[in-house]
Structures are given as structure tokens and as C-alpha cells.
Amino acid sequence: MRITQQQLHGVSLGSLQHARGRLFALQRQSASGVRVERPSDDPAAAGRARVLSSLMAAQEAYETASSYALARLQTADGALSQASNLLVRARELATAMANDTVSAEQRAAAATEVRQIRAAMIDVANTKYDDAYVFANVATATAPLDASGNFTYDVDTYDEVLEAELGASNRTEIGASGAHAFARRAADPQSVEVVDELELLAQALDANDADAVRAQIDQMDLAHRQVNAERARIGSRIQRVQEAAEAARTQHTLYEELRSDLVDADAVETFSRLQLAETTMQAAVAVAGRVLGPSLVDVL
Amino acid sequence: MALAGILNTGRNSLVAHQAALSVVSNNTANAETEGYAKRDARLASLGPMAGVELASVRRRTELFLGARMFEQRAEAGAAGSRRPVLELVEASFAAEDGGIGARVDAFFDALRVLATDPADTQLREDVLAKAEALAGTVRTEAGRIADQRREVDRMLADKAEAVGALTAEIAELNRRITELEGSGQEASDLRDRRDVLVDDLSALVPIRTFYDETGQLTVLLGDQFTLVQLDRAAHLETEPDANLAGMRRVDLVSADGTRTDVTNVLRSGEVGGLLEVRDDALPAVLADLDRFAYDLVDQVNAIHQAGYGTDGGTGRDFFEPVALNGAAQSIRLSAGIGDNPEWIAAASTAAEAVGGNDNLLALVDLASQKVAGGGLRTFSEEIANITSVVGRMSRDAIDDETRAGLQLDQLESMRASQIGVSLDEEMIDLTRYQRAYQAGARIVTTADELYQTILNM
């Protein structure tokens, strides 16, 4: 075969450029640690990586949403714990005042305390978290109980609590039900109107009616049980929200690993390939020097 | 045989080998000249006892490679003009933070968080800010691609003009070659130059060439249109065309002024590459983005209209309604909602207007429903799909360019092997002709000595 100067130069230049191109690509990969920097580096992986980034972002949103929900539920939990304490005190008073030896003055004093407990109970039911009434169910800008202790919403219609998406197709209850904690609902014959029962107790004490006071002890028990039942539900909601947050964190890590497998460069492999490319480059330079060197021109 | 004859033979030898040496020196000097084809000095006997002469200087011509090289050069040209444009487009989708995909995620994630506290003004404002950013990014990226398309259209005009300049020069060379060779002179340098121009032309548009019976070069565009015949050249003109939405149409204007629309004939070469990226690749990406934006506006609005804002209002759009065509470049929040976060319809009934989140949950559900891309993908998946498609287009252009480049290198190498200059060969010829020249000189001195002998008798 006839070999000409242009061929020699063409081949040397071609192989040098090829080696330089490969070296450059690997240098960029090693420096950035990323294998798929642009979609054209691996179109399929770039698409998958985008989907995984979306999933990761969603997990972050689930975590944020969980922390909001948790703060709201914990506020409700604190409020119900307070309500429970108030009812324990009211029952103590009722038990003490049910005794026939107690005087009318003592009962009147107890009535005053029960009215204070009732006022405190209204405040508890109207607990706010960040400008929203936690026991209001939907109408969070309106206090669930008015000054006279009446519900401002229909407790039979709104006895469900707010739900939110805290995981892929995972709807979790994130609200507290004022209806379940404080109201007498048609659906539950055992339920009592907590604030009204306290008022009845106060009236019985005012009337110095020991039998009526005795009757309210049972009502206080029912109210206490009712408040604690909702508190238990809130406890299990808190647990579910925490589980959702934990699941979101786990999923996030999983997706991050999958994404990294797709788009990140394996350090060991990249460096060994970089070394190979450097060797190839050196070889190409050395060969180019030799190819372009000897000719009859040097000899004749 | 007369002594004068011997002297004459020696003279002829000196003349012929000096001429051959000048051919060798010209080859050596042009060893690296682009387009230079090696000249072969043909020596021939002058007949009985008359010595040698330089019969001809032949310019080497390559065989078989021409058509293949034009094809590969056109392929390389097409891929080479597509690649930079597509690389710019894919850069819009490469951004992990701030790209359209990340903005879609941020929008739906803001809705997810708002669902935990649907009446909260700050969370509502966050949703609006994320929606604004999403709409803005879609508009910007789609606008960038549309600009890119107009830029390609402008480049097309330049390339078409370059085609005309080349064909005019080739026609002119055809004329001068005919003229020179007609008067018995040698025109190898002009032929070299013409080959270089034809090579340049083949990178711009798909061409075929052949030599007519008089040895003149005819250049065809594609298979059917004449670009250069004898000294007549056709050229390309571009002109905005209403049928192409104001983009340029490419006309072939022949030497006699006949116009032919060749926009759809040019499928390779740099001109073809630009046409393809302008008429196929970029419109496809834009259409995908339009479809995405349209679906997003449509689906979000349908759900949003059914819900109630905290002010009790209902039936409101979230995004400004758009037409499918150009949706990506016009997507924006509907008038008023940007300043009125209470308009976000979180609740599904008027009674729950403040605090209800059922409608928000329906909006959040959109994120996981396959309502984009013709009902095949979710909104996030659709952006991932467009990212893949754009990446694949760019990858194809890079691969095509590399492959055509490698094949072209190989063909160039084969051509260089056929017609290029080998210095080793030239050095050997140099020595050969030098020796022959010395021998010729010896004949002259010998003849001279014979004369002296006779004269001294």
C-alpha cells in the first residue's frame, strides 16, 4: 500500500484527537463525580433520574407535611391532657360535695370552682395552633365553642377529622375532633356535652342538691372517658404521622441511592479508566512523534 | 549515426530529466497542500536513436471514492450542524435544580404541604410562588427553544448563500479549465482547486458529480437538480414563507432564473441538518412542551374551578386558560389569583370553605395520575420523558457526527493513498532523475570528447 504524507498526518491527528477527546470526557467525569451530566450522556438514565428526583422531592414534601401535622396533633394532645386534668378535679369536687354532711356554703364555693373549670374547659376546646382552632374540624378560623359553651358547628355532620397525603397513596388523619372530645353526638348515645355537664354540676351545687351532685359524678366519669378516648385516637394519629415521616425518610434514601447508581460516576472505575486514557494519550503522542519523524529526506 | 545525433540525445536527456525533476520538486513542495494531487512525470522514448522526452505530466485522479465521500461529508455536515443546536436545547433539561421538572415537583409539593393547614395564608402564598416559578420556567425554556429555531433559520440563509458562492466559483473554474486545456495548456492547479471547492460544497448540500464527454464537471443537487453545468451555476435563495409560519423556504434558482422549491429535497449536508433541526427536532420538543403546559393548565383548572376559596368564591381558574398551540409560551397564573391567595380553592364545599382540604387533595392526586403525554404519563414523568427524548436527539447527532467523521477520515486516507504525495517516493524519484540527468551530461561530455578527438586528428 502506498502511504503518503497526508495519510500519516491524518492518522496521527485523528488518533491524537480521539485520545484527547476520551481523556477530556473522563477528566470531566472524575472532576464532577457525575457520569450523566447532560441528558445526551445517557438519555434513558437521565429520564429515570428525573423521575427519581421527583419522587425524592415528594418524600421531602411528605416529611414537611408530617412535621406540620405533628405540631398540630401535639397541640391537641396537650389540650386534651389539660381537659382530662380539669375533669379529674371536677369529679373530686363532685365526690366530696355529694357527702350529706357538706354545708350549703361549701357547696356554693365548690360551684364557683366548677364554673371556673367550665370556663377553662371552653378555653381548652378553643385551643389554637398558629391561628387555627385545632378542634374546629373544618372552619379553623372560627372558635368551635362560643362564650356560652355552645358548638358553632354541627357536631353530627363534622365528626370527621382533616386528612392529608403523607405518603404515596397514604391518606392519614391529621386533625383532632372537637365533636368526639367534647360533644354529645346522635351517633353515640354514651356521649355527653362536657361543658354542659359541668354547668349542670355547678347548678346542682348551687341548689345544694346532694342527689343531683351524686348523679353528676357518673356524668363526669363519662366525660373523662370521652376526652381520653379522643386523646388516645390522637396518640395513634401522632404515631401514624411519625411512621409516615419515617417511611418518607427511608424512601428518600432509597431513591437517592437508586439515582446515584444511575447518574453518579463510580470513583474507582472512573479513575482506572482515566489512567488508561492518560496512558493512551501518552502513547498517541509518542507514536505521532515517531510516525512523523523518519523519512528518506533525512537520509539522502 | 552522426556525432551530432549523440550530442542531441544527451541534450534531450538533460531537458527531459530537468523537467521531471521540476515535477518532483513541485510534488515535494506541495506534499501538505490541501487538495493537491500528485503529478506523475511520464518519460517516453523519442523514437529511433533520438533519446528521451517528457511526454506528459499527469495529475493523479482517485477512483470510486468520490460519491462515497460526498455522502459521508454531507452526513457529517448535517450531524455537525444539528449537534450544537440540540446540545443547547438539552442544556435546558439538564438542570436538576431549577429545571422544569424540579419546578413541577415544587408546585405539587407546596400543595401537599398546604393540605395540612389549608387556610394558612403563608402556605397559600408559597403555592402561588411555586406555581408562578413553574409557569415562568416553562415560558422561558419554550421561548428559548423558539429563539433557537429562529437563529437556525438565520443560519440557513448564510449557508444557502455559501452554496451560491461555491457553485459560481466552480462554474468559473470550469470555464477557465476548458479555455486553458483547449489551448493545449495544463490546468492541473485549477482542477485541484475545483476538487477542493466541490468537497466544500458536498459538506453543505447533498451532491453528485460526473464528467461530461468534454471532461467538464457537472454537479447535481440530490439526484435531479443541476447545480453546475459547464460555466453555468445555479444558486440557493431563502425567503420567509407564510406556509412555513414565517420560516425561510429554500429555492434553487437555476442559471436561467427558474425557481424550484427544494426545502424538502435537502435532507443532508449542513443545510439539510439545519432544516431538519428547524422543521423536525425543535418543533417536536416545542409540541411536547405545549402539550404538557396545556394538560397542566386544563387539568389543574378543571379541579380548581370545582373548589371554593377561603372567601367562599368558586368557579375560578388557577392558570389562565391557553390554546394548545403555543401553550408553553403563554402559561401564566390567572388574573387576580397572584394577589389573592384566599382564591386558592382548597375546599370542595362552600360550607368548608375555610379549613376544608378535599379539593387540595384532588389537586395533589393529579401529581400521581397519568394525565400528561396523551394520558400515558404523570406530569413529572412527562418532563422526564421529554428530557430523555431531547437527550436522545442530541446523542444521535453526536454519534452521527462521530461515525460520519470516522468514515470520512478513512475515505480521506484512502484518497490520500491514491493521489497524495509520498516524500519517500519523491526522494527516490529525485535521486533517479538526478542520476539520469548526470548520465545525460556524461553523454554530452563524451560526445564533446569524440569531437575533440576528431578535431585533433
Cβ–Cβ < 8 Å for B370, B125: no
Backbone angles phi, psi at B298, to 5 degrees: -60, -50
* Beta-carbon separation of B421 and A6 below 8 A: yes
B409 inside 8 A of chain A by CB = yes
Choosing from B255, B279, B303, the residue where a domain stops is B279
Cβ distance of B355 and A42 shorter than 8 Å: no
Task: Find the closest chain B residue to A71 by CA distance.
Answer: B116
Q: Are residues B53 and B71 in the same domain?
A: no
Asked if pLDDT for residue B182 goes beyond 90, the answer is no
The answer to whether B138 and B289 have CB atoms below 8 angstroms apart is: yes
Of A10, A39, A300, the CB nearest to B413: A10
Average pLDDT over residues B99-125: 92
Please indicate, yes or no, whether residues B275 and B201 belong to a single structural domain of this protein: yes
For chain B, positions 50-69, list CB contacts with chain A under 8 A: none
Instruction: Answer yes or no: do B49 and B79 share one domain.
Output: no
Best CA proximity match to A191, nearest among A206, A180, A178, A202: A180
Q: What is the pLDDT of residues A81-114, one digit of tens each?
A: 999 999 999 999 999 999 888 899 999 999 999 9
Chain A interface, mutation test: which of B117, B364, B392, most A Cβ atoms within 10 Å? B117
pLDDT band at A126 (very low <50, low <70, confident <90, very high): very high
The reply to whether residue A2 touches residue B422, judged by beta carbons under 8 angstroms, is yes
Residues 6+ apart with CB under 8 A from A139: A152, A153, B352, B354, B355
Residues of A in contact with B385 (CB under 8 A): 47
In a domain, B42, yes or no: yes
Give the range among A87-96, A158-167, B252-261, B425-434 with minimum mean pLDDT.
A158-167
Q: How many CB atoms lie within 10 A of CB A123?
A: 14
d(CA B129, CA B443): 100
Contact of B202 with chain A, judged by CB distance below 8 Å, is answered with no
Are B234 and B258 part of one and the same domain?
Answer: yes
Number of other CB atoms surrounding residue A110 within 10 Å: 23
Nearest to B355 among A42, A139, A171 (CB): A139
pLDDT of B404 strictly over 80: yes
> Chain B window 295-324: which residues touch A at a Cβ cutoff of 8 Å?
310
Written in H, E and C, the secondary structure of B19-74 is HHHHHHHHHHHCCCCCCCCCEEEEEEECCCCCCEEEEEEEECCCCCHHHHHHHHHH
Domain regions of chain A by residue span: 50-259, 266-300
What is the per-residue pLDDT across A141-197, written as a single tens digit (0 to 9) for each? 888 999 888 888 888 888 788 889 998 878 899 989 999 999 998 888 889 999 999
- Hey, is A2 helix, strand or coil? coil
What average pLDDT does this structure show over A208-230?
A: 93
| Domain match, B42 and B162 both | no
- Compute the distance between CA of residue B254 and CA of residue B262 in angstroms, rounded to an integer: 12
Q: Is the pLDDT of residue A228 over 70?
A: yes
The answer to whether the beta carbons of residues B372 and B292 sit under 8 Å apart is yes
pLDDT at position A300 is 72
Comparing CB atoms, the residue among A43, A65, A296 nearest residue B116 is: A65
**Residue from B40, B69, B96, B116 to probe the interface with A (highest A Cβ count within 10 Å):** B116
> What's the whole-number mean pLDDT along residues B174-189?
89
Q: Using 50, 70 and 90 to split pLDDT, how confident is the model at A291?
A: confident
Q: Are residues B49 and B172 in the same domain?
A: no
Distance (Å) from the alpha carbon of A297 to chain B's nearest alpha carbon:
7
Residue B254 touches partner A, C-beta closer than 8 Å: no
- Give the residue from chain A lying closest to B32, CA to CA: A6
Strand boundaries in chain A, DSSP class E: 128-129, 132-133, 163-167, 170-173
Q: Does residue B224 lie in a domain region?
A: yes
Using one digit for the tens of pLDDT, what is the confidence trace for B382-396?
999 999 999 999 999
Contact B354 A43 (CB under 8 A): no
pLDDT, tens digit, for every residue of B45-90?
A: 988 888 899 998 888 887 778 888 999 999 999 999 999 999 999 9
pTM above 0.90, yes or no: no
Q: Could you say which of B94, B380, B425 has the minimum Cβ distance to residue A38?
A: B94
Q: Show which of residues 24-43 on chain B sit within 8 Å of chain A, judged by CB atoms.
A: 31-32, 38
Q: Is A3 left (phi over 0), alpha (psi -120 to 50) or beta?
A: beta
pLDDT at B167 (0 to 100): 96
Cβ within 8 Å, pair B384-A57: no
**Assigned domain for B332 exists:** no
Quote the cell numbers at residue A15: 488518533
Is there a contact between A3 and B380 if contact means CB atoms under 8 Å apart? no
Tell me which of B112 and A4 has the higher pLDDT.
Answer: B112
Number of domains in chain B: 2
Q: Which residues of A touch B93 (CB under 8 A)?
A: 39, 46
Residue A298 has pLDDT above 80, yes or no: no
CB contact under 8 A, B395 and A136: no
Q: Is residue B144 part of a domain?
A: no
Q: Which residues of B touch A137 (CB under 8 A)?
A: 355
Domain boundary among B263, B279, B295: B279
Q: Compute CA B215 distance to the chain's CA centroid, rounded to the nearest angstrom.
A: 31
| Residue B254, in any domain of the structure | yes
Which residue out of B30, B33, B113, B421 would a mutagenesis test of the A interface target, given it has the greatest number of A Cβ atoms within 10 Å? B113
State the CATH class of domain A50-259: mainly alpha
Phi, psi of B195 (to 5 degrees): -60, -40
pLDDT tens digits for range B309-358: 999 999 999 999 999 999 999 999 999 999 999 999 999 988 888 888 99
Q: How many interchain CB pairs under 8 A, A with B?
A: 187
Judging contacts by C-beta atoms under 8 Å, the chain B residues touching residue A14 are: 409
Judgement on whether residues B50 and B161 belong to the same structural domain of the protein: no
Could you tell me which of B368, B372, B365 has the C-alpha nearest to residue B290? B372
Q: What is the pLDDT of residue A85?
A: 96
The percentage of residues in chain A with a pLDDT greater than 90, rounded to a whole number, is 59
Q: What is the mean pLDDT of chain A?
A: 90
Q: Chain B closest CA to A252's CA: distance in Å? A: 14
Residue A294 has pLDDT above 80, yes or no: no
ipTM: 0.85
DSSP string, A33-98: -BS-SSGGG-HHHHHHHHHHHHHHHHHHHHHHHHHHHHHHHHHHHHHHHHHHHHHHHHHHHHHHHH
Q: Do residue B271 and residue B167 come from a single domain? A: yes
Using a CB-CB cut-off of 8 Å, the residues of chain B touching A39 are: 90, 93-94, 387-388, 390-392, 394
DSSP state of A291: H
Within a domain: B97? no
Query: Which B positions 92-151 lie with beta carbon below 8 A of chain A?
Result: 93-94, 96, 101-102, 104-106, 108-110, 112-113, 115-120
Residue whose C-alpha is closest to residue B78's, from B360, B344, B278 = B278
> SS3 of A128, please?
strand
Is the pLDDT score of A25 beyond 70? yes
SS (H, E, C) chain B: CCHHHHHHHHHHHHHHHHHHHHHHHHHHHCCCCCCCCCEEEEEEECCCCCCEEEEEEEECCCCCHHHHHHHHHHHHHHHHHHHHHHHHHHHHHHCCCCCHHHHHHHHHHHHHHHCCCCCCHHHHHHHHHHHHHHHHHHHHHHHHHHHHHHHHHHHHHHHHHHHHHHHHHHHHHHHHHHHHHHCCCCCHHHHHHHHHHHHHHHHHCCEEEEECCCCCEEEEECCCEEEEECCEECEEEEEECHHHCCCEEEEEECCCCCEEECCCCCCCHHHHHHHHHHHHHHHHHHHHHHHHHHHHHHHHHHHHHHCECCCCCECCCCECCCCCCCHHHHCCECCCHHHCHHHCCCECCHHHCCCCCHHHHHHHHHCCCCCECCCCECHHHHHHHHHHHHHHHHHHHHHHHHHHHHHHHHHHHHHHHHHCCCHHHHHHHHHHHHHHHHHHHHHHHHHHHHHHHHHHC
Contact between chains at B90 and A130 (C-beta distance less than 8 A): no
Rounded mean pLDDT of chain B? 91
Q: Which amino acid type is present at position A157?
A: T
Q: What is the pLDDT of residues B262-296, one digit of tens each?
A: 988 888 999 999 999 999 999 999 999 999 999 99
Instruction: Look at residue B124 in the predicted model and tell me its pLDDT.
Output: 95
Do residues B84 and B233 share a domain?
yes
- Nearest Cα of chain B lies from the Cα of A69 at a distance, in angstroms, of 6
CA-based nearest distance B241→chain A, Å:
33
Is the pLDDT at B235 greater than 80? The verdict is: yes
| Contact between chains at A50 and B106 (C-beta distance less than 8 A) | no
As a whole number of angstroms, the distance between CA A68 and CA B116 comes to 7
**Opening angle at CA B275, ends B272 and B276, nearest 5:** 85
Residue A93 to chain B, least CA–CA distance (Å): 38
User: Which of B354, B368, B381 comes nearest A141 by C-beta?
Assistant: B354
Higher per-residue confidence, A42 vs A157:
A42
> Is residue B359, in this structure, part of any structural domain at all?
no
The DSSP output letter for A293 is S
User: Which residues are CB-contacts of A231 (< 8 A; sequence separation ≥ 6)?
Assistant: A77, A80, A81, A84, A181
**Contact state of A140 with B357 under an 8 Å Cβ cutoff:** no
Domain that holds residue B240: 66-88+156-279
DSSP state of A149: S
Q: Which of B101, B115, B394 sits opposite A54 (nearest CB)?
A: B101
| pLDDT score, position B1 | 58
| Per-residue CA distances from A104 to A94, A111, A210 (Å) | 14, 10, 10
Pair (B77, B195) in one structural domain? yes
Average pLDDT over residues A48-72: 93
- Across the interface, of A2, A46, A139, the residue whose CB is closest to B387 is A46
**CB contact (8 A) between residue B116 and residue A174:** yes
Residues B171 and B192 in one domain: yes
**Statement to judge: residues B28 and B73 lie in one domain:** no
Assign A103 to helix, strand or coil.
Answer: coil
Question: Above 90 in pLDDT, residue A267?
Answer: no
Say whether B109 and A64 touch across the interface (CB within 8 A): yes
Q: Which of A39, A58, A295 is facing B90, going by the closest CB pair?
A: A39
Q: Is the pLDDT of residue A297 over 80?
A: no
